[in-house]
Amino acid sequence: MGRLDGKVVFITGAARGQGRAHAVRAAAEGADIIGVDICADIDSNQYPLARREDLEETERQVAKQGRRMVARVADVRDRGALAGALADGVAEFGRLDGVVAQAAICPLGTTDGSAFVDAVAVDFCGVFNTIEAALPHLGAGASIVATGSLAALVPGSLDNVAKGSGGLGYSWAKRAVASLVHDLAAALASRNIRANAVHPTNVNTDMLNSDVMYQVFRPDLAEPGRADALESFTSQTAMGIPYVEPEDIADAVLFLLSDESRYITGLQMRVDAGGYVKLRPQAPAF
């Protein structure tokens, strides 16, 4: 018996990183997958996004689990493309039970205002578009999971002028995702549809392992590399690790997609190795 037997899950940003981990983990527990990814770059974002071959690799890994995947190239900013991908997937599998809205960019290292706009368009509007496209297909017992970030919960971590306009946009979008999920949970509860957010600390994916991220974490060095950034990454957790793995987030998402969490909604679930309890803002003593 799998924990998602008979379910169909829609995942955005499914080509690599956490999205792929969610697809493979859900498939291993019995779900079929509908997955989309932009498979192209966005100008203001200074590290490469996924490619079509990455999405094909996710399809292969889902097939290895004995499950099927309908994979489409689609930009979460494009509501028509999301609706089309979902229509294809639901025609193939006959239902939709879960949504993981997690495609995002983190366009740090620039003061160009387009980085702010692009971060909000992908990281917040993309989540909203995903939920809007999925809702007509969801029935009682369905589960929506949106990926936020510890940046939503710890002011000053990325919403910091020194980290550029993209950091401000990323943080704004992630705070808005947290707020959206909270109110969406209230709005959908009477239909027995749940909505929860997962907030990761640093995760060992291409988003983190990029030159622009190293530079933001080590502004004191001219050309920092991964080794230089590790110490700074580690300062963001309480448990002495620099990052968690995509599979650590997939375990949390799996729980929220499964019926084991059937009465959990509106949750802001942190997977952060104690980052929040270490870094959260403290009330002034006097």
Closest residue to ligand NAD: CB criterion: 17
Least distance from C-beta 264 to ligand NAD, angstroms?
Answer: 20
Residue 245, interface with ligand NAD (CB under 6 A)? no
Least distance from C-beta 265 to ligand NAD, angstroms?
Answer: 20
Residue 244, interface with ligand NAD (CB under 6 A)? no
Scan residues 94-123 and list those touching ligand NAD (CB under 6 A). Answer: 102-106, 122
- Out of 76, 90, 120, 184, name the contact with ligand NAD by CB under 6 A: 76
Scan residues 206-235 and list those touching ligand NAD (CB under 6 A). Answer: 206-208
Least distance from C-beta 84 to ligand NAD, angstroms?
Answer: 13
Give the 3-state secondary structure of the chain: CCCCCCCEEEEECCCCHHHHHHHHHHHHCCCEEEEEECCCCCCCCCCCCCCHHHHHHHHHHHHHCCCCEEEEECCCCCHHHHHHHHHHHHHHHCCEEEEEECCCCCCCCCCCHHHHHHHHHHHHHHHHHHHHHHHHHEEEEEEEEEECCHHHCCCCCCCCHHHHHHHHHHHHHHHHHHHHHHHHHHHHHHHCCEEEEEEECCECCCCCCCHHHHHHHCCCCCCCCHHHHHHHHHCCCCCCCCCECHHHHHHHHHHHHCHHHCCCCCCEEEECCCHHHHHCCCCCCC
Specify whether 170 is catalytic.
yes
Residue 50, interface with ligand NAD (CB under 6 A)? yes
Residue 49, interface with ligand NAD (CB under 6 A)? yes
Among the listed ranges 15-23, 84-92, 109-117, 256-264, the one in contact with ligand NAD (CB under 6 A) is 15-23
Residue 149, interface with ligand NAD (CB under 6 A)? yes
Per CB under 6 A, residues contacting ligand NAD are: 12-13, 15-19, 36-38, 49-50, 75-77, 102-106, 122, 126, 147, 149, 200, 202-203, 205-208
What residues act catalytically?
Answer: 170
